[in-house]
Amino acid sequence: MRVYIDTSVINGLLADDAPEIQAKTKAFFQRVQKGEFELFVSKLVHDEINATPDHVRRALLLGIFSNYTFNLLEPLDSTVELAEKYVKKGAIPAKSYPDALHIAYAASHGIEVLVSWNFKHIVKHKTRMLVGQVNAQRGLRGVDLCSPEEI
């Protein structure tokens, strides 16, 4: 199964302050190591990690990329346009445009699942419904928006 992960999932591996999230994220990555999932990320994930102000945490997060195989998705012409459609439709607030971009990367590349710990904007019913509507109108495959424990 092809799975796009956003930055929150990588952060989940280091979530010492949230042991339940950390344990569920580690269980997800154990399944990755077993070959159950093919992981995809975008440059946006790298940019968000590189913007981490704590240089020690940033180094730890970047180090995760050497422990797993991540396929890097390049933006397509439709990626930005699709993210803008999600915002215009009300699936994602304009101030959280990067969240719309994460979804658009997955959708524009035909990735089946986007995994995130972002329950505020990504992993929620309203977002699933509106993203599904936009994708259907554009003839795109649906993207299942779920948490690491749901998959």
- Report pLDDT digits (tens) over 29-85: 999 999 999 999 999 999 999 999 999 999 999 999 989 999 999 999 899 999 999
Instruction: At 39, list the tokens.
Output: 């992981």
Instruction: Report which residue type is found at 79.
Output: T
DSSP code of residue 76: P
**Domain annotation covers residue 32:** yes
**pLDDT value, residue 94:** 97
Mean pLDDT, rounded, for 103-120: 97
The model carries a pTM of: 0.94
pLDDT (0 to 100) of residue 27: 97
**Is 20 inside any structural domain?**
yes
Q: How many domains in the chain?
A: 1
Among residues of the chain, what percentage have pLDDT more than 70?
100
Quick one: pLDDT band at residue 99, thresholds 50, 70, 90?
A: very high
CA distance 72 to 134: 24
Residue 72 neighbours by CB under 8 Å, 6+ apart? 40, 41, 42, 43
Residues 6+ apart with CB under 8 A from 84: 100
* Length of the chain measured in residues: 151
89 pLDDT tier (thresholds 50, 70, 90): very high
Question: HEC string of 5-29?
Answer: ECHHHHHHCCCCCCHHHHHHHHHHH
State residue 10's pLDDT score.
96
Is 12 a member of any domain?
yes
DSSP at 75: P
CATH of the domain at 13: 3.40.50.1010
Computed over every residue of the chain, the mean pLDDT equals 95
Is residue 151 in a domain? no
What 3-state DSSP class applies to 85? helix
In a domain, 24, yes or no: yes
Domain ranges, residue 73: 2-146
Question: What's residue 88's pLDDT?
Answer: 98
